[in-house]
Structure 1
């Protein structure tokens, strides 16, 4: 158990006193010189006993805390002056740590050092007590949230009258807004699109949740999530559309193409008919009861932000059709931002002419969300739309080709073999759930679906105009919003290359950029015990949307990475990636620091016995285990393994591993898959974070909670861990759109990059390179009788590795 807090700083004493007065911990006439430190400490402790409604009750509650192994707080203050030991002995009890289990009464500092908790020592003066208390309110509890949030959830702010709204403490918005009477309303934003070709501008259902205080004149900024899943999904229909991946790799027609030949050109489309407003109102005429929400948005609702959701074109109660990531979906998200910023009309219903304005907002918008939701945040940012101040882009796609394709191959997102852009369009076309609406749009939507199927081109897997239209990296120069990227280093769904490429595209821009890389797969991380993620986002959005000068760009690390070798450990860096500094050459089953000139050609086959092939297609985890293990399995002849010597010291591997292979196929087709593997027996972090029973993070008074999680070590050691993988079609060795010839038996130099990494390799472990062809969970699976040959003497891997300190 360790706590890593980055959204926290200690201001000067005058600021501490001012903020504590605003929170009513200090009286308005408080002065340092006129107050006894021990008396002040007792007063502050009494203030924390929120649920005791009388002075006697508060005193009785404080008496339950021990200041020494044998002395309660009231007994202590009658005999002694407060000191650091007594202060933090009580503080650990306030923070929810258990005496005898987590710490020893009367000896708090070993535990505080072990847990990475801040403390102020020595502590003798009134000023010391003020600073120690200010910092304590910002210190993590055992439950994974700051102590002031604990008090807020108990009703501390609720009991106080005439608090400022919004209220900021230590640069972060506090939960002082009531959440038991939130305003829930629906409007319909009119876009410039006509994706269903009915001649009328597509309207977009937009749902709003805002504090009741906005009805009394307070204007608030917005956290906006564009979620195509928000109005429901067609899971059964999507499952029926899944493509067969047990199909052979086929030869592409040899073509010499340039990027210009395949670049997307936006079509000229008729301008749709716009509505002429007949009236403008401030009250919506439609509401809702429940909504699929984003937990981070719920956290901000009590803190003076509104939450807005829109599913976009082609979803239930909106117009248009789904287009899977193209400029129309971007424009739909942008339209909502423009309405929030006062630059676009919305109406009270889907067909009427009564306009409604977003009078309750400041017009400052942040976009949030994971996966497709974060993808549309990235997409909207590339337009430079006014009002969008920042995006928090979690596990987001930055180029749809890299999601459904790789290296000239059809490569599935992990966990979804057979899915493609057309399947996703069908799954998200929730207009299908409204029977009458679907009756009228069904024919055109299926025409649109057929066009997506043709455009995505599963036959060749090459980059084309369809994918170029869905590549947001081309437009990053237009980004004016600050960007905070969050991504899992083990995300096999939206792979880390999406975050890596976006990060580097942002480098030359003038805005702020931040990057958080965790050890998870395709997950949110705002409920981790070891990291103050929600506080970090609070600091960030208080700065970005409220304009609070809280030092967020300086306080938050540029790059924050969770360690893969030990739990609850995070490291800060200035960048991700750079020039490789180490070349490892392939030898005879070895990775060497010196080239070995005389090495026999090594070969492997891609074909399995039909019974084994069928088994592995239904047991993908077993396939990966049998492929990567150094033990002999049924897949031993389907791969080559090259190993370094055991490492003499811990190393940090980061950036983009780059591989150059001299390879031949015995047919006029071929694909190569490479995997970088950590070999060495160790207890490793579990693949999924562990729920911590009995702990949840409160988001406010009588408001939502979020189950606490943390990555923990597996009980049993494992002998290897996949670090990174990559794939390439041998016909795409020049680029992603040109198909080169492959002559059977001829050797070609093939270069490919693996997924970017940040990986802590332990001393005594070996770094391994596994080379195969079919990657069962990812590539198509033809089970063809292809034999591949590798010339190790002309093959190498380039890495960025540094000793770990």
Structure 2
């Protein structure tokens, strides 16, 4: 394994001693390192409750090849660095002869990338080594102080619990068996169900029981799924239909620009009484384990599903301004700028008297999307967001360059489908009856606005483009995204990263090799520790260097397991590019002399084969990419480079320029960028190393420990990226141009951005095709296309670094 630990803060020696005293792991009366270590082990072996039990444990640990830790302490010999780290590694859950050699722990520590102090001559050296040990990650995914906490070390701190920080990070000193669980109803400045009253939004709160008068910061997750979803009633659109010719139109930017018009709102509710106690609780929320982790460390957790969800008012509108306003309303109440009530009937108001006014938003996918949306309003009190796999523009979620393009595994889904899925008010029959007719009308409006007929960008999508408002962002931002996420595709985070460049905020980016996943439970990366460091700084104002200690860009290696690299930037618009020219079956870096090289492919398949690929997109994908002669051979143009003579690290979006002629008056082009080469690649899904082994606190919630592992079987290729375009949208994504059969037109478009290392000896491949069975409409018309190879190009942006030094 490799330990990639970026949140290990190094304070002054004086601060280290002060922090050790604060967590009761400093002994002032002793100066002999051997005696100190013995006394400290007796303190931290918290799950061994008697002297005999502790001695039993020490007898099971080795100090040297032939001496147990217990025997070492009885002989009172000098504590050498080798003995210290032999003991330390076993405390960190590493195994003798499996993970390290007892006569040489430092070789293994260097390989695993564990920090150490190799000279322990004075008592001060000992305390520095001890402090560093407490901050070091174990073999099983958590910092050592967390493993102590999970065994109950901090229980003695519960009585007078107040925020406690060690190594710049909040510690779990709050009793999770005595949490306050309460519900309030926040009044939003909306009336989305048109019932003549402002929408009330159910808000679930979990907060630690703190010493009287203390105020805590908040992690807020806006999740439309929080109150349930209507899975049984989900209706997908039919995608097995022909691509249609669009009427030629010329528009300008003003024609597709959305301008929000505020509607006349009902007056706010009159407050009839005030309360300091809520009237509703809950037994189990739809939680996020990172929130659970921080809850034990002195942060309140808030979940709200928003308008149109169960026990809230309003209707779902999928990414609209109203959803953003609904999300922000909760923050405004938490910071004292909006009213909330104890129930929906009695107009009894309640304030968040326990809030310190500092809010962060967390969550993945739709949850992270609403965090991004809230940040673009510049709302006061929102100090930071941690947005994971978040949408920055809904058009780029359901569309691409004038085409209807679905998220992976969601063929037929669209904005209206998602709105209906999340309208959990439907689960309460009487409540739903009040809004059913109106919601059906809204669904009709969503259907019209999303315009599946043309696939064009319009005012509907412009309203749902958060990039239009990024100039308003004041919160610092952490972004997390999977480089193989074909649900919320990498373009979403790349667009936001680019938009944030000129803003005077702190922004951090994590790119992993996963799909649509969280990364807080990875063994190889201290993501949870980094976010603890970050939030302790952002919400508790702890001076811990988080803004500089956490790398600007952290990218997981696509070749080596458990390997992460750090950079100052990603997808720099000024990155150099490597150009490839097209020849028959080849990508070449030399210019072709033949200006009349052409290649043709078709888009239709035999009906049986077409239906087979509809049922199993994986089979279609394999047939399309394979270098062998397959059923898809005539439905693609496959171009492959010579083996690379040096590594290539792609950073950003590969750009395609094609000279293409269609045999019909409409058409689409899809492209895939491929890494061809035999390799033991990472598995596409993280492996579970230990189930429910990550404790979020003492007797609290748990999570699986996971990691990307290498496939023991070699594979011959890996798709790097892909992209799609409607031939009628070659000018832009909202204008329709004509397609004259047999006439060559130039189209330019970007593939999805990536960070990818193509190994020396591997080959770069480009596949040009039309229908993408997993994403586009599945056309089986007798369409065909011709590419003028000599007038077509592929440009790949690369990081100008010594790739061999990094990989």
TM range (shorter): over 0.9
Task: Give the equivalent residue in structure 2 for 1:67.
Answer: 63
Q: Does 1:512 align with 2:509?
A: no
Task: Give the equivalent residue in structure 1 for 2:4.
Answer: 4
1:114–1:199 Cα change, 3 Å: same
Aligned 8 A contact 2:272 2:346 in 1: no
Task: Give the equivalent residue in structure 2 for 1:130.
Answer: 127
Task: Give the equivalent residue in structure 1 for 2:92.
Answer: 95
Q: 1:43 aligns with which of 39, 42, 61?
A: 39
Q: 2:460 aligns with which of 460, 463, 466?
A: 466
Three-state SS of the structure 2 residue aligned to 1:768 is strand
Task: Give the equivalent residue in structure 2 for 1:670.
Answer: 667
Shift of 1:696: 1.6
1:217–1:662 Cα change, 3 Å: same
Three-state SS of the structure 1 residue aligned to 2:232 is helix
Task: Give the equivalent residue in structure 1 for 2:619.
Answer: 622
Three-state SS of the structure 1 residue aligned to 2:155 is coil
Q: Does 1:523 align with 2:520?
A: no
Three-state SS of the structure 1 residue aligned to 2:100 is coil
Farther off after superposition, 68-77 or 479-488: 68-77
Deviation per CA, 1:110-165: give whole Å up to 9, x if none: 22112111111122211111111101111111110011100001111113576661
Aligned 8 A contact 1:171 1:539 in 2: yes
Task: Give the equivalent residue in structure 2 for 1:559.
Answer: 553
Instruction: Tell me the distance in 2 between the aligned counterparts of 1:314 and 1:669.
Output: 39
Shift of 1:73: 2.0
Three-state SS of the structure 2 residue aligned to 1:369 is strand
Deviation per CA, 1:669-718: give whole Å up to 9, x if none: 01000110000011111110000136621111111111100000112111
Instruction: Tell me the distance in 1 between the aligned counterparts of 2:82 and 2:3.
Output: 21
Q: Does 1:793 align with 2:787?
A: no
Q: Does 1:305 align with 2:299?
A: yes
> When the two structures are aligned, how many residues end up with a matched partner?
798
Instruction: Tell me the distance in 2 between the aligned counterparts of 1:597 and 1:131.
Output: 67
Farther off after superposition, 700-709 or 161-170: 161-170
Instruction: Tell me the distance in 2 between the aligned counterparts of 1:749 and 1:557.
Output: 40
Aligned 8 A contact 1:313 1:332 in 2: yes
Q: 1:486 aligns with which of 470, 480, 486?
A: 480
Instruction: Tell me the distance in 1 between the aligned counterparts of 2:454 and 2:397.
Output: 16
Aligned 8 A contact 2:691 2:703 in 1: no
Q: 1:761 aligns with which of 758, 761, 764?
A: 758
Q: 1:477 aligns with which of 471, 482, 485?
A: 471
Q: 1:611 aligns with which of 584, 608, 611?
A: 608
Shift of 1:79: 4.6
Q: Does 1:244 align with 2:241?
A: no
Instruction: Tell me the distance in 1 between the aligned counterparts of 2:221 and 2:492.
Output: 19
Three-state SS of the structure 1 residue aligned to 2:660 is strand
Q: Does 1:114 align with 2:121?
A: no
Aligned 8 A contact 2:161 2:210 in 1: no
Q: 2:206 aligns with which of 205, 209, 229?
A: 209
Shift of 1:644: 1.3
Task: Give the equivalent residue in structure 2 for 1:53.
Answer: 49
Aligned 8 A contact 1:317 1:350 in 2: no
Instruction: Tell me the distance in 2 between the aligned counterparts of 1:268 and 1:129.
Output: 65
Three-state SS of the structure 2 residue aligned to 1:692 is strand
Q: Does 1:222 align with 2:222?
A: no
Write the mapping of 1:687-766 to structure 2, written as runs, cut at 5 A. Answer: 687-693=684-690, 696-766=693-763
Shift of 1:10: 2.2
Write the mapping of 1:637-648 to structure 2, written as runs, cut at 5 A. Answer: 637-648=634-645
1:620–1:509 Cα change, 3 Å: same
Aligned 8 A contact 1:179 1:211 in 2: yes
Q: Does 1:393 align with 2:387?
A: yes
Write the mapping of 1:166-177 to structure 2, written as runs, cut at 5 A. Answer: 166-177=163-174
Instruction: Tell me the distance in 2 between the aligned counterparts of 1:161 and 1:376.
Output: 35
Instruction: Tell me the distance in 2 between the aligned counterparts of 1:490 and 1:586.
Output: 27
Shift of 1:234: 0.3
Aligned 8 A contact 1:67 1:106 in 2: no
Write the mapping of 1:545-556 to structure 2, written as runs, cut at 5 A. Answer: 545-556=539-550
Instruction: Tell me the distance in 2 between the aligned counterparts of 1:14 and 1:55.
Output: 32
Instruction: Tell me the distance in 2 between the aligned counterparts of 1:482 and 1:453.
Output: 35
1:687–1:408 Cα change, 3 Å: same
Aligned 8 A contact 1:491 1:522 in 2: yes
Three-state SS of the structure 2 residue aligned to 1:797 is strand
Deviation per CA, 1:362-383: give whole Å up to 9, x if none: 0110000000000000000000
Instruction: Tell me the distance in 2 between the aligned counterparts of 1:276 and 1:597.
Output: 79
Q: Does 1:273 align with 2:270?
A: no
Instruction: Tell me the distance in 1 between the aligned counterparts of 2:349 and 2:76.
Output: 70
Farther off after superposition, 493-502 or 48-57: 48-57
Unaligned runs of 5+ in 1: none
Shift of 1:268: 4.0
Q: Does 1:254 align with 2:248?
A: yes
Shift of 1:800: 1.5
Aligned 8 A contact 1:205 1:310 in 2: yes
Q: Does 1:19 align with 2:13?
A: no
Instruction: Tell me the distance in 2 between the aligned counterparts of 1:458 and 1:56.
Output: 73
Instruction: Tell me the distance in 1 between the aligned counterparts of 2:249 and 2:118.
Output: 72
Deviation per CA, 1:328-356: give whole Å up to 9, x if none: 00000100000000000000012321000
Instruction: Tell me the distance in 2 between the aligned counterparts of 1:520 and 1:9.
Output: 28
Instruction: Tell me the distance in 1 between the aligned counterparts of 2:59 and 2:792.
Output: 72
Shift of 1:597: 2.8
Instruction: Tell me the distance in 1 between the aligned counterparts of 2:694 and 2:127.
Output: 26
Instruction: Tell me the distance in 1 between the aligned counterparts of 2:438 and 2:58.
Output: 69
Instruction: Tell me the distance in 2 between the aligned counterparts of 1:160 and 1:394.
Output: 33
Task: Give the equivalent residue in structure 1 for 2:680.
Answer: 683
Deviation per CA, 1:259-313: give whole Å up to 9, x if none: 1011112234111231011112111011111111111110111000010000000
Aligned 8 A contact 2:199 2:313 in 1: yes
Deviation per CA, 1:201-234: give whole Å up to 9, x if none: 00000000000116x2221100000000000000
Aligned 8 A contact 1:587 1:595 in 2: no
Farther off after superposition, 431-440 or 265-274: 265-274
Q: 1:586 aligns with which of 582, 585, 604?
A: 582
Q: 2:376 aligns with which of 353, 376, 382?
A: 382
Aligned 8 A contact 1:185 1:207 in 2: yes
Three-state SS of the structure 2 residue aligned to 1:71 is coil
Q: Does 1:500 align with 2:494?
A: yes
Deviation per CA, 1:29-78: give whole Å up to 9, x if none: x27xx612222122222221112333444344333321101112233242
Shift of 1:327: 0.5
Three-state SS of the structure 1 residue aligned to 2:178 is coil
Task: Give the equivalent residue in structure 1 for 2:537.
Answer: 543
Task: Give the equivalent residue in structure 1 for 2:654.
Answer: 657
Task: Give the equivalent residue in structure 2 for 1:775.
Answer: 772
Aligned 8 A contact 1:46 1:62 in 2: no
Instruction: Tell me the distance in 1 between the aligned counterparts of 2:267 and 2:549.
Output: 49
Instruction: Tell me the distance in 1 between the aligned counterparts of 2:714 and 2:160.
Output: 53
Three-state SS of the structure 2 residue aligned to 1:67 is coil
Shift of 1:797: 1.2
Q: 2:286 aligns with which of 292, 296, 299?
A: 292
Instruction: Tell me the distance in 2 between the aligned counterparts of 1:715 and 1:252.
Output: 49
Instruction: Tell me the distance in 1 between the aligned counterparts of 2:452 and 2:591.
Output: 39
Shift of 1:577: 0.9
